């Protein structure tokens, strides 16, 4: 893994942890908080899947250019 990807991964992980902690600290009813956390986790997972697909596509294109 190159340095840029490590940096991006670290930033995303830190942001996710910070956001999760802010949700837990915020005063909110239990059921509402659980729903909000679930909604945010689903949105994060969808975003990561999309980013992974884009990176996979970019890697394949790079491999094809290199093989030519």
CA dihedral (38, 9, 55, 62) in degrees, to 10, reads -170
State if pTM tops 0.85: no
d(CA 46, CA 40): 10
| Tokens 């837990």, residue located | 24
pLDDT band at 52 (very low <50, low <70, confident <90, very high): confident
**Comparing 20 with 43, which gets the higher pLDDT?**
43
Provide mean pLDDT across the span 39-60. 88
| Residue written as token pair 């990176």 | 55
R_g over Cα of the chain: 17
């Amino acid at each position: 893994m190159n340095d840029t990807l490590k940096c991006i991964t670290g930033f995303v992980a830190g942001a996710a942890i910070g956001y999760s902690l802010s949700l837990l600290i915020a005063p909110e009813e239990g059921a509402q908080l659980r729903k909000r956390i679930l909604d945010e986790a689903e949105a994060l997972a969808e975003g990561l899947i999309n980013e992974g697909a884009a990176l996979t596509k970019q890697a394949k294109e790079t491999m094809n250019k290199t093989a030519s």
